[in-house]
Structure 1
Amino acid sequence: MTTHRLPDFNDVTAAAARLAGHAVRTPLLSSPALDELTGARILVKAEPLQRTGSFKFRGAWNALSQLSEAQRARGVVAFSSGNHAQGVAEAARLLGVHAIIVMPSDAPAIKQRGVIARGAELRLYDRETESREAIAREISETTGAALIPSFDHPHIIAGQGTAGLELFEDMAARGLRADTLVCCLGGGGLIGGINLAAAALSPQTEVWGAEPEGFDDHARSLVSGRRERNARQSGSLCDALLSESPGALTFAINQTRLAGVAVISDADALHAMRAAFEHLKLVLEPGGAAALAAVLSGRVEVKGRTVVVIASGGNVDPAVFARALA
């Protein structure tokens, strides 16, 4: 098994240079209604406006663009519930690389269609009875395709960290400082990269994670001091956040930087989706709304503070979105 070094802020700035001209610099949105609801100044980093509808393109491009020509010719394989899958598929399409995506059969149809539309080959598996890692490893060993992990790799973490680099730069340009930042937690790659940016550019900012009930592996890991595992692999609307456990690299970064982790319910996520649509005109998927849900539910105390919320993705099936609006 390859042991990777921990990425640092220099890796994040290098990733930003690679992403220039390829990724969208997503805006920070605000709403007087959200400020009034929370008693805080809320700014929302709108990653649903990123290529493929989530932050995942950032890490995928940073990883694939560093592959050798020989490796690109052999292709890539990735496993994902959908957003990393689409990010890898899009990066591979742009680079002319064949991609095989291992995705759970219960992944939202919109995410499966997104992978296929970008020309990638889709391999479905049963989330409860099969191991996506084992399937991807077998494909990699058989075909020579490079395995592109969804979060626990320095290139992925650094790429996701460019979202943090952007938001802290944009905050500084407005003369603002973030007292609190709240971000979703799945495997920890996004918040890990953001923590690298926060440590360098805004060390006073308190960083909180948000994860779904029944999948609170980061919350339990912070208490125990070791990486805890989730007993289940499915059973939450927040499909994008259902990782088995924190990554080795991501937990090494996040353990020392996280102020805490808020655990949110499906109902909290649906409420936040509706609030984002009504007040920001922004479409979020349940997992993408987790951070906003943590704030609106009061699970992270924000009153009187300047708060950045990461809205991480918007690839939601219409039926789930209709449920949120209803």
Structure 2
Amino acid sequence: MEKTLTDFSGFWQRKETQVHLSSWIQSALEEDAATRDLTAALLKNGNESSRARAVIIAKAPGVLCGVEAVVQTLKALDPHLVIRHCAEDGSHVSVGEKVFEADSQAHLLLAGERTALNICGHLSGISTATAEMVSQAGSVSILDTRKTMPGIRRFQKHAVLVGGGVNHRFDLADFPMFKENHRALIQQERPELKQKPDAEMSWIRQRLLEEGYTGTIAIEVEDEASMRACLNEGIEIILVDNIPPAQLSEWLGRAKKDGLPVDASRLEASGGIDQGSLEEHASSGVGRISVGAITHSSPILDLSMSVEAISGNDLRSRRESGSPAAEAAGDTE
């Protein structure tokens, strides 16, 4: 198992992450009626069932993200869960490779199975899709968007980082982004700015300064004149939306010829970009590509959990070995 990325700033250890993860897991377990599983009675002997071992393997190659969510899901059902193997975020797995292994009561492992796999499979799918796009894009940065599922944005954006991507703004308060609707409303309110993109960009910056804002500004453009106006005004992020790569390349070529300050790191292609069109966009002259599909449409990474009873001989062998895992398993019987 190769792990190419090692530092994600302690994401899973952050207090806010733990609070939101606990809320996500509890909501999912309640939705699945995990504590009212009608099969549990057949597996129990009294209040407990036999000890069992859960093993999760990858059924497709990919980049893992969210195995910690598997741990916390199963711990929510069994605080005495004995973890035997747990892969880290950023690990590249192949088909059949073990991702996670733990011991608990059989009925509790089965109760948490679907929630654990749903969360980890979803986040790993985002990481895997991101990694594939990052590989295709070369030196061009791949960014996510705010097209995320309500309530789990922080986890989806973490998965993008794990896959080697870059997070765009987290929310509306990070920095102002003026998109098509914003610009249309401004022009309706101030007709003198219509058909005058240079004046419009200057007005936007000036009004923000009057409001006390001096940070990054992002503006979406869909025509060459607006792009040139943003270059002239020094707009920090210029989103060129829904423009064919060849056409964008021509725009940038003319801008350079005319001596405009063209900086690829400020130019971002967006709008329906997928793996099929990514390489063309990456060669158009931009330094950034934002892809909403990473978080809203990435297929899951297929993971599978097997649950098997632990034999008495296995339990005795582990106790005799004196390992912490063996003793912990014995304590919970």
TM superposition score normalised by structure 2: 0.26
- Structure label with greater radius of gyration: 2
